[in-house]
């Protein structure tokens, strides 16, 4: 089963000081061991670049160099695939924002869900589960929940 990896998880994959880091590393290790596909989207990569290169003094910024951000993106590319951005995904995004009355920053999450829907992908690994629970049929898991599922099954 393929898993879409959300931005917050990608950011903490590289942040060894974050309390979520060990769980994320272990979840990725087990997913790979079980031959599960790890995917992301261009939207997630743009958000990753934004937070990685944003000054530490700014909310959510990591203050890393462009060179380091690029090396980290290259690692993410090697780790898994990127969902294609298509006209069908844009139409699905429009349908989602209208049907779910999405406004503000939540439009970015709706774009990720739209890509997942047109790609027939139903599972997202995120640290912000509440951002995705409004979408029926979507399996929303934290890295800890992924670990629990893999270890029990």
pLDDT at 118: 97
The CATH number for 62's domain is 3.40.50.1010
0.75 exceeded by pTM: yes
pLDDT at 151: 86
- Find the domain containing 86 and state its range: 3-152
Number of domains into which the chain is organized: 1
The span from the CA of 153 to the CA of 147, in Å, is: 10
pLDDT at 152: 85
Average pLDDT of adjacent 10-residue blocks, the chain of 153 residues: 96 97 96 95 96 95 97 96 95 98 95 97 97 95 95 79
Sole residue written with tokens 């931005």 = 7
Q: Say if residues 75 and 54 touch (Cβ distance below 8 Å).
A: no
Q: Say if residues 79 and 39 touch (Cβ distance below 8 Å).
A: no
């Amino acid at each position: 089963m393929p898993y879409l990896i959300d931005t917050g998880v990608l950011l903490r994959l590289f942040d060894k000081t974050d309390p979520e880091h060990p769980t994320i590393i272990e979840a990725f290790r087990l997913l790979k061991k079980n031959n599960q596909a790890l995917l992301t989207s261009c939207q997630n990569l743009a958000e990753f670049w934004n937070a990685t290169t944003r000054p530490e003094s700014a909310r959510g910024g990591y203050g890393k160099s462009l060179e380091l951000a690029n090396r980290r993106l290259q690692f993410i590319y090697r780790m898994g695939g990127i969902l294609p951005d298509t006209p069908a995904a844009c139409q699905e995004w429009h349908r989602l924002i209208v049907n779910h009355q999405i406004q503000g920053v939540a439009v970015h999450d709706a774009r990720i869900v739209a890509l997942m829907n047109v790609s027939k992908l139903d599972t997202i690994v995120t640290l912000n589960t509440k951002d995705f629970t409004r979408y029926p049929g979507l399996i929303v898991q934290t890295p800890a929940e992924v670990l629990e599922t893999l270890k029990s099954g």
